[in-house]
Structures are given as C-alpha cells and as structure tokens.
Amino acid sequence: MPIGLLADIQYADQEDTFTEGRCQRYREAPGKLQQAVKAFVAQEPQLSCVLTLGDIINGRHATQQEDIQDLDLVLELLQPLAAAGVPMHHTFGNHCLSLPRDMMLRRLGMPASFYAVDIEPGWRLLVLDTTEMSGHSGYPKDSKLGEEAAAYQEAHPLSEQEPHMHGWNGGIGSDQMRWLRQQLQRADADGVNVICSCHHQLGPGAARATHMAWNHKSILEVILGGACVKLVLSGHDHMGGYACIQGKHFVTLEALLEAPSGANAFATLDLLPKAIIVTGHGSCRSRQLAI
C-alpha cells in the first residue's frame, strides 16, 4: 500500500513573500492541500497512511489566535483523510512551534514529538524531532534540553565550517539520540526495514549545508550503523534534494508552499521488496531507489 507525503504546507493568511528569487505562495496553500488530499483519498489501492514532514503552518502572526485559525483551516482540509480511514503521522518543523508544543501535539494527534509506528508489514517509521534542541523548541532555558541547546550553540557557533548552525535549524537531544539507537537495534532484531522522518535533513548533499540539522553528523553516524534504515525523509529546504550515503537514501521533499501557481507538490511512496518508488506530483520529483 502506498504512503502519501506532504512537506512544508506552511499556510498563513498573508501576502506572498520572496526568498532567494523563489515565491512563497501562502494563500494558495489551502487550495493545493485540498487537491492533494483529494488525490490521496482517491488513490488505489488505499494509502496506508499520510506523512507530513513539518511546517504544517507558517505561524509568526501578530497574535496566537491568528496562528490557531491557520491551523484550524489546515486540519479541516486534512479531515477527509480521517473520514476515509487513512491514518496521518506528523513531523514537527520549526514553524510548527509558533504555537505551544503541547498544543501542537494535541491538535495533531501525535503520541509524542518523536515516536515509532509500524506502517506496513515489514516496515517501521521512526519520526524524529529535530526541533527539540533549538532556540525555538519551547522548552525552558533551564530545562535539560534548553541547557543542551545552549551548550551546543556555544560549542558550535555559526561559521563557514558550520553553516548549519542557523537559528531556523535544530537538532535532537541526548535522550532522543539514545532512543534512536535503541529503536534501530530493535528494528534490526525484528528484521524490519526503517524509514526515518525529520524536518531538518541529516544526509549531506540532500539539502543545502545551511539547512541541515545542527548535530546531523552525530545522528547520521547512528543511522548508518543501523542496517535496517533504508530511507530518511525530510522537508525544510523547500527546493528539495537527494543523496545516497552508504546505500541509504536521503530525500528532501519539495515544499507545497512554493509549488507554482496552477501546480502542486506532493508525492506517494511505494515500498517494494527491492526498491522504494517515489511518485512525485507537480514540482515534486519522482525517484526509484534500490534497496
């Protein structure tokens, strides 16, 4: 059964903006999302789930109530998936945390900010939270994660050598890193394949250096040690990208937010015994990945 993929819907009730010559079409996002959901619901065979890769809203409005209204609209547009019996799995992005973390967990129906779920026979999804160690995490400065983030930033200041240390990025803390190791060991023992999802890319070359997770090198080392990992999916770098590292595939999905007017950006994923097929729609690239 295929899996639906969406990245960086990033809806906001605001005028378009332009970044690096690219247009962010905020008010077009709901119409494009509605089209993507309609395609997902009509998919044959029925999708096993839909996975979002972060930044479901843009946030940053003058008032929290405006951000909540944006989220309400996005969740309303996603509702036909639930009505059709298609589960949704969400990934936290940096813009998601314009609203309180606890609120987003509750509204998105997430069991936690990082979690594991079996999505098809022989396949397990590990959703990582690369926002938890960051300046926008929502955790108090005197919390364990707040202190880890501050210490990491102090030890790794933004520089030409570490261009990923921008404030719009983030990483995972020590507890989540320990959880990831345990999950990969369990998956290897269970003989299942693993897909990891995270908002910030972990595989160098699959996204620009300025858009990688803070501690992507340490996370990558853990992932490369897990024979079970076949694919890492991310968003964040709106132009998309791809890299293959030691036989593992790293895909950055193109942003729905920046799909051209009259077009779209979403994908489906087919998990085959010897390959993963990414079927892109609109500005999302299609890929055939051998496993």
Q: What is the DSSP letter of 88?
A: E
User: Chain-centre distance of CA 75, in angstroms?
Assistant: 17
C-alpha to C-alpha distance for 61 and 43, rounded to whole angstroms: 35
How much is the pLDDT for 88?
Answer: 98
Q: Which two tokens stand for residue 235?
A: 């968003």
C-alpha to C-alpha distance for 180 and 223, rounded to whole angstroms: 8
Question: Given pLDDT bands bounded at 50, 70 and 90, which one contains residue 75?
Answer: very high
C-alpha to C-alpha distance for 203 and 278, rounded to whole angstroms: 18
Question: Given pLDDT bands bounded at 50, 70 and 90, which one contains residue 61?
Answer: confident
Q: Which domain CATH number covers 72?
A: 3.60.21.10
User: Is the model's pLDDT at 62 over the cut of 90?
Assistant: no
The reported pTM is 0.97
User: Is the model's pLDDT at 1 over the cut of 90?
Assistant: no
User: Is the model's pLDDT at 60 over the cut of 90?
Assistant: no
Closest C-alpha among 93, 197, 176, 180 to residue 137? 93
Q: The dihedral of CA 152, 158, 163, 168: what is its sign?
A: positive
Beta bridge mates, 102: none
pLDDT > 90: what percent of the chain?
98
Q: What is the DSSP letter of 264?
A: -
Q: Are strands 248-252 and 229-234 parallel, antiparallel or unpaired?
A: parallel
C-alpha to C-alpha distance for 184 and 18, rounded to whole angstroms: 40
Question: Given pLDDT bands bounded at 50, 70 and 90, which one contains residue 57?
Answer: very high
Residue of higher predicted confidence among 62 and 163? 163
- Structural domain including 36 reads 3-290
The average pLDDT across 112-132 equals 97
The average pLDDT across 58-82 equals 95
Buried b / exposed e across 108-129, counting CB within 10 Å, b at 16+?
Answer: bebeebbbbeebbeebbbbbbb
Question: Given pLDDT bands bounded at 50, 70 and 90, which one contains residue 162?
Answer: very high
The average pLDDT across 213-230 equals 97
Q: How many domains does the chain have?
A: 1
C-alpha to C-alpha distance for 275 and 52, rounded to whole angstroms: 22
The average pLDDT across 176-194 equals 97
C-alpha to C-alpha distance for 140 and 145, rounded to whole angstroms: 8
How much is the pLDDT for 175?
Answer: 98
The average pLDDT across 201-208 equals 98
Question: Given pLDDT bands bounded at 50, 70 and 90, which one contains residue 15?
Answer: very high
